[in-house]
Amino acid sequence: MGGEPGLITRKLLQLLMRPARVAGIETPLPRFRIVQLQGEALRNVGWMPGQKVQIAIGSGLASRTYTPMSWDEAAGSTRLLAFLHGDGPGSRWAAGLRAGDGCHLFGPRRSLDLTAPGAPLVLFGDETSFGLAASLRRDATLLFEAGDTGEAHAILAGIGIGHAMVLGRTVGDAHLLTMEAEIARHAVTGAHFALTGKASSIQRLIRCLRSAGVGSSRISSKAYWAPGKTGLD
């Protein structure tokens, strides 16, 4: 997993990040890992759904961002859903994890504000957004695009989500026409929209929402990835 960090890197990790250990790993499907991290430094941290953590990977200060599915502040533990997306550093890190491994994480800290009082919530995303969906402590309309809809429905059911709309990705993103129609249908309800996942899909749906008269105060977005780019959060 990239070797041991050097002395300076270790000192920086100790100063800036919370130490934890991998308390357990589940592999519900080949491309997904449910990772439980535990440590004294994870107690009483005031986590809220939608917040992110950045986990140091490899031998330097490189990190990858995850949205915890849950956080037990009394026990000092958190659960993450990792999607092995391609062959990038984050996927290699998650694939190589073993129970007992140590790690360092920064956060939790703000990423998306999902607390709009009284407004319905519509969450759009993809496989990288499933952990965020699992963290929600309120009813929401869940709209996803996915490379493999069967895999997506299986992992969603496995983490307790059985009410999501999942569209398979198509050549030229033609499936987003259906997603735009669904998004526009909810625009008239006064809903707050949280758009996550693939950068180009988010940009397209923001244009759809603006055309439907939805103001920026009702739209939150966070791009988790884009083809050919690494390190987005």
Report how far apart, in Å, the C-alpha atoms of 178 and of each of 24, 129, 169, 186 are: 39, 19, 11, 13
Pick one of 3.40.710.10, 1.10.3720.10, 3.40.50.920, 2.40.30.10 as the CATH number of 7-109.
2.40.30.10
Tens of pLDDT, residue by residue over 41-50, are 999 999 998 8
Q: Which of 12-16, 92-96, 170-174, 215-219 has the lowest mean pLDDT?
A: 12-16
Domain ranges of the chain: 7-109, 121-225
3-state secondary structure of 162: coil
Q: What is the pLDDT of residue 112?
A: 85
What is the phi/psi pair of residue 142, to 5°?
Answer: -110, 120
CB 187: neighbour CB atoms within 10 A? 18
Residues 6+ apart with CB under 8 A from 189: 120
* Top-ranked range on mean pLDDT: pick from 58-62, 84-88, 114-118, 220-224: 220-224
Between CA 91 and CA 15 the distance in angstroms is: 26
Which pair of structure tokens corresponds to residue 125?
């995303």
Is the confidence at residue 1, as pLDDT, over 50? no
Which pair of structure tokens corresponds to residue 28?
């519900």
Go through the chain and tell me how many residues it has: 233
pTM score of the predicted model: 0.90
Q: What is the pLDDT of residue 61?
A: 67
Is the confidence at residue 89, as pLDDT, over 70? yes
Longest dimension (CA), the chain: 56
Please state, rounded to an integer, the average pLDDT across all residues of the chain: 90
Q: In this structure, are residues 124 and 222 in contact, taking their beta carbons and an 8 Å threshold?
A: no
Query: Topology of 121-225 in CATH?
Result: Rossmann fold (3.40.50)
Mean pLDDT of 161-179: 96
3-state secondary structure of 89: helix
